[in-house]
Amino acid sequence: MRFLNADCLFSHQRRTGGLVTWRSGSVMVVFRGTNYEGLISKPQRMNSEDDALFVPSVSSLDNLVTRTGDGKSPVIEKSNQIVSARAESMSEEEAEYNRLLDGLGPRFEDWWGTGVLPVDADLLPQTIPGYKTPFRLLPAGMRPRLTNAEMTNLRKLAKSLPCHFALGRNRNHQGLATSIIKLWEKSLLVKIAVKRGIQNTNNKIMAEELKKLTGGVLLLRNKYYIVMYRGKDFVSPSVAAALAERQEMTKQIQDIEEKVRGGPVAVPVAEEKEALAGTLAEFYEAQARWGTTISAEEREKMIEEASRANRDRVIRRFEHKIAIAQAKKLKAEKLLSKIVASWVPVSPSDDQETITDEERVMYRRVGLRMKAYLPLGIRGVFDGVIENMHLHWKHRELVKLISKEKELAFVEETARLLEYESGGILVAIERVPKGHALIYYRGKNYRRPITLRPRNLLTKAKALKRRVALQRYEALSQHISELEKTIEQMKQEIGNSANLENKQHWNSEDSELSESEDDASSMASDGDEDEDEWGDDEDFEFSGLEGADFPSHKAG
């Protein structure tokens, strides 16, 4: 028996190569099999130099360990021998994955899992001189962040991947970052296993430093694994070098242009004149040359035309509203007529039972004292109300209904309708705090009908539709009347303003005509005066002629 920490029976059988015959909790019995050959013996060490302490080199990633006389690293040779020994029992996928890890560094020999041995990240260089965060460039039109769906898909993909590296050191991961960048050229994800049994390991510090050195996206971090995505802006080192060189060249060209632009500029000497551009004098000059002057009368006329056009626009808008309201009103009227078509009210009975005044007073007093009542809501009278009245009359002679309508005429109409439909006797309609109380007496010859719900009345749903359609019809009718009044009022205002303008126009013409008549009369009076003067002169001349003595007459 052996205590194991795995969770899956298939994993145990795959690791050991045996068959699990019994299992209880964490205890299981594993049968090794008849073809068990034992563990693979480790290769013998050829020389004593392999016992030397391994010191990682910081010069480059290729010089990972101290070199032997033939130029090969003993640690890499040792890991290669172990990998080649395991490669015989690998599947095609594991072999391809093993080739992916070749050249990244020495393998972790004490790997507790199955399959390909991951790279031992603790044997990689801690620092690399001149290390820089890799160059990144996001393609145009691509979102830099991962969506939730993309994050979930990448995590699902990383769950089935074997580990690429095994890490037990918290800091100084420049060599590991270089290997990760090299691996990202062929794989989107990198999966790092945290070594177990090593004290003071902190996966949070590891993940933060790797994220800072590589610039990748952290997908998952726990005490067992660290999964990182290379990012959408990842660029391979060869392409990054070309882009960086191009950017450096562009920067140099821009620096040269800035130096040339910042140098002294020869300013041509021009005659000193006051610039008129943008000044008030330029505005006055342009206004005098091309502008048109608007008089006060023209301005008032323009304002009146604008106000008249605004009124016409408002009237057209109101007329459009009236058309829409009339269409809605017609629709509500059709719906109301369709609902009312299924409502056939009962005509009053010829053989109606009557009660005396004393009985009416007594029934009224008893009905007002009754606590049980039936409410009449917005639906009005429908088949359910008549059914409830008959159910009340089963145990008592009176039934009280309370209506919350405010108009007394509507309440009286409802009371008469209930009296005809139920066959009872209306005792009284009284005003109560909750509304109007309707008291009905079932009659001395009351017989319970076979069907409590009359078929000629509306159902509860149809009664509600009728009420809503009726309210809509009334509201639209009121709205249309208000709009028509508003339009008439505005048309009257426009007509009054037009009449006032015409009156002013005729007044101005009358004043001009009277002025012209005055001028003509003044000219006529001047002519009469001239004629009078001319007549006086003639009389004077004739009188002089008459008083003169002629010699010829004396001689005769």
| DSSP tag of 437 | E
Same-domain status, 70 and 214: yes
Same-domain status, 33 and 67: no
277 to each of 273, 281, 310, 423, 517, how far by Cα in Å?
12, 9, 39, 97, 56
For residue 355, which phi and psi values (nearest 5 degrees)?
-130, 160
Alpha carbon of residue 79 to chain centroid: 59
Mean pLDDT value of segment 307-318: 86
Q: CB neighbours (10 Å) of residue 281?
A: 9
Residue 104, domain member (yes or no): yes
Whether residue 44 has pLDDT greater than 60: no
Final residue before a domain boundary, out of 257, 289, 321: 257
Confidence of residue 1 (pLDDT cuts 50, 70, 90): very low
Whether residue 541 has pLDDT greater than 90: no
Supply the pLDDT for residue 259.
87
- Between 30 and 526, name the one with better pLDDT: 30
Q: What residues form DSSP beta bridges with 403? A: 376, 436
Residue 278, domain member (yes or no): no
Supply the pLDDT for residue 103.
83
Mean pLDDT value of segment 227-245: 89
Q: Which of 32-36, 203-207, 243-247, 363-367 has the lowest mean pLDDT?
A: 32-36
Please report where in the chains the tokens 């035309």 appear, as a residue. Answer: 305
Report the CATH number that the domain containing residue 211 is assigned in CATH: 3.30.110.60
Per residue in 355-395, pLDDT (tens digit) is 899 999 999 999 999 998 999 988 888 889 999 999 999 88
Mean pLDDT value of segment 67-85: 53
- Between 6 and 75, name the one with better pLDDT: 75
Is residue 343 within 8 Å of 457, Cβ to Cβ?
Answer: yes
Is residue 453 within 8 Å of 386, Cβ to Cβ?
Answer: yes
Same-domain status, 92 and 128: yes
Same-domain status, 17 and 134: no
Residue 323, domain member (yes or no): no
Is residue 226 within 8 Å of 167, Cβ to Cβ?
Answer: yes
Q: CB neighbours (10 Å) of residue 98?
A: 19
Is residue 539 within 8 Å of 546, Cβ to Cβ?
Answer: no
Residue 192, domain member (yes or no): yes
For residue 173, which phi and psi values (nearest 5 degrees)?
-120, 35
505 to each of 174, 231, 500, 501, 510, how far by Cα in Å?
98, 83, 9, 6, 9
Edge-to-edge strands, sheet with 119-120: 119-120, 165-167, 189-194, 225-229, 217-221
Whether residue 190 has pLDDT greater than 90: yes
Buried b (16+ CB within 10 A) or exposed e, 509-530: eeeeeeeeeeeeeeeeeeeeee
Residue 26, domain member (yes or no): yes
For the record, the structure tokens of 402 come out as: 């309370």
Same-domain status, 224 and 90: yes
Same-domain status, 169 and 31: no
For 353-477, list the strands marked E by DSSP.
374-376, 398-403, 425-432, 435-441
Per residue in 416-434, pLDDT (tens digit) is 989 988 888 999 999 999 9
For residue 34, the one-letter residue type is: T
Per residue in 191-213, pLDDT (tens digit) is 999 998 888 899 999 999 999 99
Burial class (CB in 10 A: 0-12, 13-18, 19+), 38: exposed
Distance between CA 78 and CA 44 in Å, rounded? 10
Same-domain status, 158 and 237: yes
239 to each of 49, 236, 318, 500, how far by Cα in Å?
41, 5, 69, 85
Final residue before a domain boundary, out of 457, 477, 492: 457
Same-domain status, 27 and 168: no
Residue 485, domain member (yes or no): no
Same-domain status, 210 and 248: yes
Same-domain status, 370 and 438: yes
Same-domain status, 18 and 96: no
Supply the pLDDT for residue 40.
54
Helices (runs of H) and strands (runs of E) counted in the chain: 14, 12
Per residue in 166-178, pLDDT (tens digit) is 999 999 999 999 9
Supply the pLDDT for residue 51.
39
Mean pLDDT value of segment 37-57: 45
The chain-wide mean pLDDT, for the chain, equals 78
Whether residue 334 has pLDDT greater than 80: yes
Supply the pLDDT for residue 274.
66
Q: CB neighbours (10 Å) of residue 29?
A: 13
- Between 108 and 6, name the one with better pLDDT: 108
Per residue in 256-289, pLDDT (tens digit) is 988 888 877 666 655 566 666 778 888 888 878 8
| DSSP tag of 154 | H
Residue 186, domain member (yes or no): yes
Supply the pLDDT for residue 262.
81
Per residue in 102-160, pLDDT (tens digit) is 888 898 888 887 778 899 999 999 999 989 888 888 888 888 899 999 999 999 999 88
Quote the percentage of the chain above a pLDDT of 90: 25
For the record, the structure tokens of 109 come out as: 């020999």
Q: What residues form DSSP beta bridges with 445? A: none
Is residue 29 within 8 Å of 22, Cβ to Cβ?
Answer: yes
Residue 117, domain member (yes or no): yes
Whether residue 53 has pLDDT greater than 70: no
Supply the pLDDT for residue 85.
54
Distance between CA 30 and CA 394 in Å, rounded? 85
Per residue in 432-461, pLDDT (tens digit) is 999 999 999 998 888 888 888 888 888 889
Distance between CA 67 and CA 72 in Å, rounded? 6
What domain range includes position 403?
357-457
Distance between CA 227 and CA 165 in Å, rounded? 11
| DSSP tag of 219 | E
Final residue before a domain boundary, out of 257, 281, 302: 257
Among 342, 308, 359, smallest CA distance to 458 is for: 342
Quote the percentage of the chain above a pLDDT of 70: 75
Is residue 355 within 8 Å of 390, Cβ to Cβ?
Answer: no
Same-domain status, 245 and 375: no
Instruction: Report how many domains make up the chain.
Output: 3
For 201-304, list the strands marked E by DSSP.
217-221, 225-229
